[in-house]
Structure 1
Amino acid sequence: MKQIRILTGMMFVVLISGCASLPESFTASELPLNDDVFTQYHEYTPESADEIFKLDAAAREFVDNSQSPLSGDGDNLKNLIRQIFDGGELGIRYITNANTIASETFANRAANCLSLTIMAKAMADYAGFNAVFYEVDIPEYWTRRSGVNLLNGHINLRVSVADTLRKNQISSHFIDVDFDPQTIRSHFPRNAISKEKITAMFYNNKGADALLNNDDIKAYAYLRAAALLYPEFGSTWVNLGVLYRRHGLLDSARESYELALKLDSENLTAWENLALLHELEGRTAQARDIARSVRNKRESNPFYHFILGEEALDFGDPEQALIHYNRARRLDNSRHEIFFGMGKAHYELGNIDRAADFMKLAAKHAQNRQDEYRYMSKLSDLQSAR
């Protein structure tokens, strides 16, 4: 699979908890960067942390209007978060590639999980609440854009009334802000992370977007910024490796993948890209050994089979896609994405009734109104085609 590591909306960064750190003696000048190749990177200036988290006047007014001096802190917290998601108020929508700063997210009424978390953090700070970023250790999960598999991570935000964290007390006055409530219900382990890491994740996403758009100078500028700010974030090194490989900088690509693996030896995306690099350089046996190991580790992950189905569908093979989707469904019979994929495959095969059945299941299992409406719209189109 051709992969880029990205932090998307509903899923934030998938960096595995407990990863290693770089040795103190490892200086910035020793990082596998290539300023001498991407000499025009300085034409792009990544947003500062202040710019990323700044609320404009309209966003500040929205927060002010959500707070009442007659209500307690807990009620004001609930009202702020409710209005962020309430269709009659801000009504934030999920869009996977909405990699925007807080003020843009507010103006667009659209976010992925990273940009939602950034905006919610800025609003919580402005309102005087405590807010803590969390990185969630979810199974590998992919989406496809422009013929490329994007490995999604996940972050969310816990917002609490002002005195909760200061007194180190457990309080009922907190809310987890998350597009995907299943990550909360499933109790995946999570770890608090810093604002610096969140900022590096933002740069990584912007760099990945630029990679997808074949804007390699911009991609390098943002990935470089991420690497310098938070070099322990392995996803950045994987994406830089993809960029270097694209430009024939194979030694730099290998250094980048190996650095990602030093940070997390179970980073399967780094291993997979390293296998591809070995294949390109003629080390076929080594490439096959790594690929086999990665494949074996992913066999029990339904989303691995799901993304193989998506690939097969993109390549015009709906029958093979159904084989992969069915394997995914046997492992997890509750995911709307899998049912949607099966509906698409049956449609391509001309099985309109079966396609409609799976669209109904996708809508039934959708985790938000936006996806439910999307599936119901597809279902309506299918019913009209009968």
Structure 2
Amino acid sequence: MRRTVALLCFVAAVLGGCAGTPEERSAGTRLLWRDAAFAAPSQAPDAAAVFTVDDAMRAYLDQSSVHRAHDPRRSLVEQLYRRQALALDYAGSTRTAAEAFAARAGNCLSLVAMTAAFAREAGLPVQFRSLAVDESWSRSGDLLATSGHVNVALGWPAHDLHVRRSNETSLVVDFLPADQIDGVRWRPIAEATVVAMFMNNRAAEALAEGRLDDAYWFARESLQQDAHFAAGYNTLAVVYRRRGLADAAETVWRRLLEQEPANRSALANLAQLMQHEGREREAQALNTRLRSLEEAPPFHWFDAGLQALREGELQRARDLFQREVARDASYHEFHYWLARTELLLGRSKQARRQLELALETSPSPQIQSLYAAKIDWLKAERRLQ
């Protein structure tokens, strides 16, 4: 059973919505950079700082009762979010864990980072989770944006093996009211993806203040952290367009559409760019594609694909899984089930590619090792080309 501590806030993947090192993940995005068109940032992006615990945080934790509590997870949350304790303000800019603690304020992503940093310092396992909430649209000038939501789940310490009074396996800390997230589908995401969200938020904040150079370097770092993070592509393209680099913006949006052909933000923004440049026929084709996309809740095509697979309708299952991948190519299970179906259809080359994508988008080393082992086994069985 899982319990949720609900606190109000929303994490925005503004202007949008892995396995290996950041350098390996970003290898395919390097052709997108236009470093020469931007001055050095006023503050260089620092991925390591997002979850860093400073001396003030350690002192606060040492003075708390977390280490002595029967349930250290719940004690930590109470210490952080009771008004009598920190009196945190759930608003403001995107801050690192240490910055949010020092300011006693931060937006939702800041507080997720701070919660995770404190939890790890206390020896608690942490899992980041993306929730399949309904897509929320907004507009920034003539550019369209979508938003997403993440929260964090705290586990029991690995050394805590005694019999507990509670059968809770994890304590979820969320900044939306409980009635808005009860029953909502979720999936685990990697720390690199959370850092990508952080950098993307910083980029969006710089854009809003007209600091294009800073926005570029933060958007660039977002994709350095997670080359599958769609919102990072959208933000980078927006930066290019506002700098007057329409060709670079188009390249980035088309690159995202290669990865996610049904990405609504990319289609809408690219259509507007084409129209602005007088390329009416291309704009019309993109708008037609956008209007043709059926509205369906998250996981709809995936669930339908599983049902088709159970019924032995392989081609239909493949088409349904492809539709889910087309609108969200960052979830490993979509790629895995598409790979299984491709293999059943005898399409070994396509199956291998989807398994590789499942490996690339896996949120943890444990899941990565499972996919790597599966690929090795299928190669040994000569079932993959």
TM-score (norm 1): 0.64
For 1:103 and 1:132, locate their aligned partners in 2 and report how far apart those are by CA, in whole Å.
Answer: 19
Q: Does 1:138 align with 2:129?
A: no
Q: What's the CA shift for 1:30?
A: 4.5
Give the direction of change, closer, same or farther, for the CA distance of 1:147–1:62 in structure 2 (3 Å limit).
farther
Number of positions where the alignment pairs a residue of Structure 1 with one of Structure 2: 280
Q: Does 1:262 align with 2:258?
A: yes
Hey, what does 2:175 align to over in structure 1? 179
Q: Does 1:11 align with 2:7?
A: no
Q: What's the CA shift for 1:85?
A: 1.8
- For residue 48 of structure 1, what is the amino acid of its counterpart? A
Q: Is the 8 A contact 1:102 1:122 kept in 2?
A: yes
Structure 1: gaps (5+ residues): 1-7, 19-23, 302-386
Equivalent residue in structure 2 for 1:64, among 62, 65, 68: 62
Equivalent residue in structure 2 for 1:280, among 260, 276, 283: 276
Hey, what does 1:52 align to over in structure 2? 50
- For residue 59 of structure 1, what is the amino acid of its counterpart? M
**2:231 counterpart SS class:** helix
Hey, what does 1:333 align to over in structure 2? none
Structure 2: gaps (5+ residues): 1-7, 19-23, 298-385
- For residue 32 of structure 2, what is the amino acid of its counterpart? P
Sequence identity percentage: 28
For 1:300 and 1:68, locate their aligned partners in 2 and report how far apart those are by CA, in whole Å.
Answer: 43
Q: Is the 8 A contact 1:133 1:192 kept in 2?
A: yes
Q: Is the 8 A contact 2:90 2:106 kept in 1?
A: yes
**2:40 counterpart SS class:** helix
Give the direction of change, closer, same or farther, for the CA distance of 1:272–1:37 in structure 2 (3 Å limit).
same
- For residue 214 of structure 2, what is the amino acid of its counterpart? K
Q: Is the 8 A contact 1:10 1:94 kept in 2?
A: no
Hey, what does 2:121 align to over in structure 1? 126
For 1:259 and 1:251, locate their aligned partners in 2 and report how far apart those are by CA, in whole Å.
Answer: 12
Give the direction of change, closer, same or farther, for the CA distance of 1:267–1:164 in structure 2 (3 Å limit).
farther
Hey, what does 1:158 align to over in structure 2? 153
Q: What's the CA shift for 1:266?
A: 2.5
**1:152 counterpart SS class:** strand
For 1:11 and 1:26, locate their aligned partners in 2 and report how far apart those are by CA, in whole Å.
Answer: 24
- For residue 149 of structure 2, what is the amino acid of its counterpart? H
Q: What's the CA shift for 1:124?
A: 0.2
For 1:99 and 1:52, locate their aligned partners in 2 and report how far apart those are by CA, in whole Å.
Answer: 10
Alpha-carbon displacement from aligned partner over 1:212-248 (angstroms, at most 9, x marks no partner): 1111111111111122232211111111111111222
**1:172 counterpart SS class:** coil
Q: Is the 8 A contact 1:113 1:154 kept in 2?
A: no
Q: Does 1:27 align with 2:27?
A: yes
Q: What's the CA shift for 1:66?
A: 3.2
Give the direction of change, closer, same or farther, for the CA distance of 1:68–1:131 in structure 2 (3 Å limit).
closer
Alpha-carbon displacement from aligned partner over 1:299-340 (angstroms, at most 9, x marks no partner): 789xxxxxxxxxxxxxxxxxxxxxxxxxxxxxxxxxxxxxxx
Q: Is the 8 A contact 2:25 2:225 kept in 1?
A: no
For 1:183 and 1:224, locate their aligned partners in 2 and report how far apart those are by CA, in whole Å.
Answer: 36
**2:95 counterpart SS class:** coil
**2:216 counterpart SS class:** helix
TM-score (norm 2): 0.64
Q: Is the 8 A contact 2:152 2:172 kept in 1?
A: yes
Q: Is the 8 A contact 1:237 1:256 kept in 2?
A: yes
Q: Is the 8 A contact 1:142 1:151 kept in 2?
A: yes
Hey, what does 1:351 align to over in structure 2? none
- For residue 66 of structure 1, what is the amino acid of its counterpart? S
Give the direction of change, closer, same or farther, for the CA distance of 1:250–1:66 in structure 2 (3 Å limit).
same
Give the direction of change, closer, same or farther, for the CA distance of 1:107–1:244 in structure 2 (3 Å limit).
same
For 2:247 and 2:67, locate their aligned partners in 1 and report how far apart those are by CA, in whole Å.
Answer: 61
Alpha-carbon displacement from aligned partner over 1:340-375 (angstroms, at most 9, x marks no partner): xxxxxxxxxxxxxxxxxxxxxxxxxxxxxxxxxxxx
RMSD between aligned alpha carbons?
3.3
**2:134 counterpart SS class:** coil
Greater RCO, 1 or 2 (C-alpha within 8 Å, sep 6+): 2
Q: What's the CA shift for 1:298?
A: 8.3
For 1:189 and 1:165, locate their aligned partners in 2 and report how far apart those are by CA, in whole Å.
Answer: 29
For 1:69 and 1:26, locate their aligned partners in 2 and report how far apart those are by CA, in whole Å.
Answer: 39
Q: What's the CA shift for 1:62?
A: 2.6
Hey, what does 1:218 align to over in structure 2? 214
For 2:97 and 2:12, locate their aligned partners in 1 and report how far apart those are by CA, in whole Å.
Answer: 16
Q: What's the CA shift for 1:86?
A: 1.3
- For residue 81 of structure 2, what is the amino acid of its counterpart? F
Give the direction of change, closer, same or farther, for the CA distance of 1:26–1:264 in structure 2 (3 Å limit).
same
**1:154 counterpart SS class:** strand
- For residue 249 of structure 1, what is the amino acid of its counterpart? L
Give the direction of change, closer, same or farther, for the CA distance of 1:206–1:229 in structure 2 (3 Å limit).
same
Hey, what does 2:88 align to over in structure 1? 92
Hey, what does 1:192 align to over in structure 2? 188
